[in-house]
């Protein structure tokens, strides 16, 4: 009965916007009353979350033109982005598992048929790598270019590829899935090629100095593509256009954080991977100690897992706890009020 009495009103508030401040205030107060009632009797209902979302939209519309403080950028990175990642953790997990599946297919296919590697990576690249291995310099490809030129080229290329993977979500995720298929197969074949030559450990110490940030950032970019696809396919209570706009906005925010990640990864590949490759050649060129490579690799992995997975979960729990216990001036919005009998 509660839903039946109010569902038309909620739909109107969500889809029919108003510029009248008095009407906006009346809607907000009405929604807060409904939210209080819903949180009292149906705290885990989808309707309760729906009402809360509509009220939040009105609240944000009131303050969207508010002059931001200089700390806005700090707040964006510390709170807004992590909470956004928490919202889409299920999609991020799905993307990671699918990518791992594609990598495994590349490894398995390479183990069963060595010609598969050439079909994926190309004869020229495989021949060059095998020639470098024969010369005792398996990672010589990282020494063939000026480090700064290499840094700029890799940073731009990886950022471009990541945006293509995200934009692939416009095709209901098919474009993103295809890009993941290509990159996953290439990674699987690439790593198998070194392990088959007895260079597995060395390849990890050299390639994954930059590959940890680079590959995981591409996975996150793919998740951004699936977020766009999710908004198109599953609009929920929003119109398909509004759902699409919201998810595109969220995907763009995720892509923002990946740009500096790709820049750092490109720096590692251009300068540090070059040094690390010298450690494992037979010419005894001055290289980088293995323990330094291990620290960089571990730090990169810890950062990705912490900022994109663990910290968002912790922050979300903290925010929920603060919402329930807060006695601030806005705590009444979220505090359930039991009607008198």
> What's the DSSP call for residue 145?
S
Largest CA distance in the chain: 87
Cα dihedral sign, 150-153-156-162: negative
290-311 tens-digit pLDDT: 888 899 999 999 999 999 999 9
Q: What's the CA gap between 217 and 265, in Å, rounded?
A: 9
Q: What does 199-238 look like in DSSP terms, one character per residue?
A: -HHHHHHHHHHHHHHHHHHHHHHHHHHHHHHHHHH--TTS
Q: What's the CA gap between 190 and 107, in Å, rounded?
A: 8
42-91 tens-digit pLDDT: 888 888 888 888 888 888 777 665 555 656 778 888 888 998 999 999 99
Other CB atoms within 10 A of residue 328 CB: 9
Cα dihedral sign, 248-252-253-255: positive
Each residue's pLDDT expressed in tens, for the chain with a length of 341 residues: 989 999 899 988 888 888 888 888 888 889 888 988 888 888 888 888 888 888 888 887 776 655 556 567 788 888 889 989 999 999 999 999 999 999 999 999 999 998 899 999 998 988 988 888 888 777 777 766 678 888 999 999 999 999 999 999 999 999 999 999 999 999 999 999 999 988 888 888 888 988 999 999 999 999 999 999 999 999 887 888 889 999 999 999 999 989 999 999 999 988 888 777 777 666 555 567 888 889 999 999 999 999 999 999 998 888 777 655 543 444 444 444 444 43
17-27 tens-digit pLDDT: 888 888 888 88
Q: What does 70-129 look like in DSSP terms, one character per residue?
A: TTHHHHIIIIIHHHHHHHTHHHHHHHHHHHHHHHHHHHHHHHH-THHHHHHH-HHHHHHH
């Amino acid at each position: 009965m509660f839903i039946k009495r109010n569902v038309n009103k909620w739909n109107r508030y969500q889809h029919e916007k108003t510029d009248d401040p008095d009407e906006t205030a009346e809607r907000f107060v009405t929604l807060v009353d409904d939210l209080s009632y819903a949180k009292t009797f149906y705290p885990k209902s989808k309707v309760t979350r729906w009402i809360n979302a509509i009220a939040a939209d009105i609240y944000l519309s009131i303050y969207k033109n508010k002059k931001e403080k200089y700390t806005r950028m700090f707040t964006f990175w510390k709170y807004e982005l992590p909470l956004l990642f928490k919202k889409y953790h299920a999609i991020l997990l799905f993307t990671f598992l699918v990518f791992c599946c594609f990598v495994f297919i590349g490894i398995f296919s390479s183990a069963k048929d060595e010609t598969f590697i050439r079909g994926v990576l190309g004869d020229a690249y495989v021949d060059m790598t095998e020639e470098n291995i024969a010369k005792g310099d398996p990672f010589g490809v990282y020494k063939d270019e000026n480090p700064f030129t290499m840094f700029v080229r890799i940073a731009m290329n990886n950022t471009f590829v990541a945006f293509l993977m995200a934009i692939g979500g416009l095709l209901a995720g098919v474009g993103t899935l295809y890009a993941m298929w290509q990159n996953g197969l290439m990674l699987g074949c690439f790593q198998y090629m070194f392990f088959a030559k007895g260079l597995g450990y060395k390849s990890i110490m050299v390639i994954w100095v930059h590959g940890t940030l680079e590959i995981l950032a591409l996975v996150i970019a793919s998740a951004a593509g699936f977020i766009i696809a999710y908004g198109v396919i599953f609009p929920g209570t929003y119109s398909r256009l509004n759902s699409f706009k919201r998810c595109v906005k969220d995907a763009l925010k995720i892509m923002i954080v990946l740009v500096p990640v790709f820049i750092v990864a490109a720096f590692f590949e251009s300068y540090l991977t070059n040094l690390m490759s010298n450690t494992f050649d037979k010419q005894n060129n001055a290289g980088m100690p293995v323990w330094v490579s291990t620290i960089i690799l571990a730090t990169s992995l810890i950062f990705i897992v912490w900022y994109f997975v663990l910290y968002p979960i912790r922050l979300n729990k903290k925010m929920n706890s603060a919402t329930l216990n807060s006695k601030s001036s806005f705590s009444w919005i979220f505090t359930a009020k039991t009607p008198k009998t």
